[in-house]
Chain A
Amino acid sequence: MTDRRLVQNSPPRPGFLAGLGQSLPIALGYFPIAFSFGVAATRAGLTAPEAVMLSLVIYAGASQFLALALVTSGAPVLVAAFTLIAMNLRHVLYGPALMKQAGTGASRRHAWAWAWGLTDEVFGQALGALARGQRFSEPWMFGLGLGAYVAWVGGTGVGALAGGGALESFPAVSAGLGFMLTALFLALLLSILSRAALPAIAVAAVATVIGTLAVSGTTGILAGMIAGALAGVLRR
């Protein structure tokens, strides 16, 4: 009886279209970066289909730019692959953290498909929405992920075909689009900000700066996430 009352009082589960709508800020941020990737790939000697294939199959921004550098420098395939794989290790934390926020009983039957789209930005957007009281659903995750994925692959294709001149004529537009993901992360941070989360946020920020300045950007990101999460464990 109590359970039924709880379900009746809960907001409805969002569907595919709700997720697709919420992917708009991510898509707007992804498109110009993917566009830049398409331009860079063709400048590095790849064909447009090869550039689009990388976005379709790898679907990880920083890894793809690094892949270009590794391929053009003639690095062995296995060495290059290992480097790219190590860059995305942080993603192992996203699924369990999201399901923890989604709560007991959240379906993950189709996670093999929607989790492919669990990038930094999609994870942040999903987590922020759940923290604001929205319920979890797999169709919603599909919508959120698909909007971002289409923007990424589409942006790559347009960039590879159009070349670098298109956005260079509009530097202010290019700059604004370049700031889109920073603004998105900042807004997401505001949306989940709470007294309980402050230690994790502060420790993560400091560890990211130290890791980045001392070693590399990739190390900084991994250090920030792990140190921040450990700070949450230590908090009583």
Chain B
Amino acid sequence: MNLDLVVLAVLAGAANWGFRALPTLLMRREPHPGGMMARFLAATGPAAIATLVVASVLPQLHPVPRALIPLAAGAAATVLAFLPRRSVAAATLIGATVYGLAFGLLA
């Protein structure tokens, strides 16, 4: 096994572990309710998820738009499947299935 590759993986992996685990382990106490840190952390989740939605869709829209109809169909199916039972798993699976079907039909 290539030693440089192992060193690269260990350095990157150790940093990933540090980023993911240390902030939780080093938290001394809960942030003051209503304080700036509490509001920052409460907003981090919605901000992160919104960011990931946009970041995952953007490559399909820019610089060259592609598969827009499957994208619209998949997104609409995800939303419509979520509404009745508010199930994330069902909405994800139905959205991906509809995207694949639309992609196949238009191919």
**9 nearest A-B pairs in the assembled complex, by CB-CB distance:** A232-B43, A176-B100, A228-B47, A172-B104, A95-B24, A224-B51, A183-B95, A115-B21, A175-B103
Contact A182 B16 (CB under 8 A): no
A162 at the A/B interface (Cβ < 8 Å)? Answer: no
User: How far is the CB of B40 from the nearest CB of chain A, in Å?
Assistant: 5
Task: Give chain B residues whose Cβ lies under 8 Å from the Cβ of A208.
Answer: 50-51, 54-55, 58
Q: For the complex, what is the distance from the CA of A184 to the CA of B81, rounded to whole Å?
A: 12
Contact B47 A201 (CB under 8 A): yes
Q: A: which residues have CB within 8 A of B?
A: 22, 24-25, 28-29, 46-47, 49-50, 53-54, 57-60, 63, 67, 70-71, 77-78, 80-81, 84-85, 88-101, 104, 108, 111-112, 115-118, 120, 123-125, 127-128, 131-132, 171-173, 175-177, 179-192, 197, 199-205, 207-209, 212-213, 217, 220-221, 224-233, 235
Task: Give chain A residues whose Cβ lies under 8 Å from the Cβ of B79.
Answer: 186, 190
19 contacts between A and B (CB under 8 A): A25-B88, A60-B16, A80-B8, A94-B23, A96-B23, A97-B48, A100-B31, A108-B25, A116-B21, A117-B20, A132-B86, A177-B96, A183-B96, A191-B88, A208-B55, A221-B51, A221-B52, A228-B46, A230-B43
Contact B104 A171 (CB under 8 A): yes
Name A's interface SS. Answer: helix
Contact B47 A229 (CB under 8 A): yes
Contact B12 A228 (CB under 8 A): no
Q: For the complex, what is the distance from the CA of A175 to the CA of B20, rounded to whole Å?
A: 30
Q: For the complex, what is the distance from the CA of A219 to the CA of B49, rounded to whole Å?
A: 16
Within 8 A of A (CB), among B31-63: 31, 36, 38-59, 62
Interface bits B49-87 vs A (CB < 8 Å: 1, else 0): 111111111110010000100110011001100100010
Select one of B1, B7, B39, B49 contacting A188, CB under 8 A. Answer: B49
Closest B residue to A201 by CB, please name it: B50
Select one of A118, A124, A187 contacting B95, CB under 8 A. Answer: A187
> Interface size of B by Cβ–Cβ distance < 8 Å?
72
Contact A176 B101 (CB under 8 A): yes
Q: For the complex, what is the distance from the CA of A115 to the CA of B22, rounded to whole Å?
A: 9
Q: For the complex, what is the distance from the CA of A125 to the CA of B10, rounded to whole Å?
A: 27
Closest B residue to A188 by CB, please name it: B49
User: Quick one: which of A127, A172, A181 has the most chain B CB within 10 A?
Assistant: A172
User: How far is the CB of B12 from the nearest CB of chain A, in Å?
Assistant: 4
User: Quick one: which of A53, A88, A175, A197 has the most chain B CB within 10 A?
Assistant: A175
Contact A183 B99 (CB under 8 A): yes
Contact B50 A91 (CB under 8 A): no
- Seed contacts A84-B12, A220-B55; 19 additional CB < 8 Å A-B pairs: A71-B5, A80-B8, A81-B11, A93-B48, A95-B20, A95-B21, A100-B42, A115-B20, A116-B16, A118-B21, A123-B48, A127-B45, A132-B86, A175-B99, A176-B97, A189-B46, A208-B55, A221-B51, A229-B40
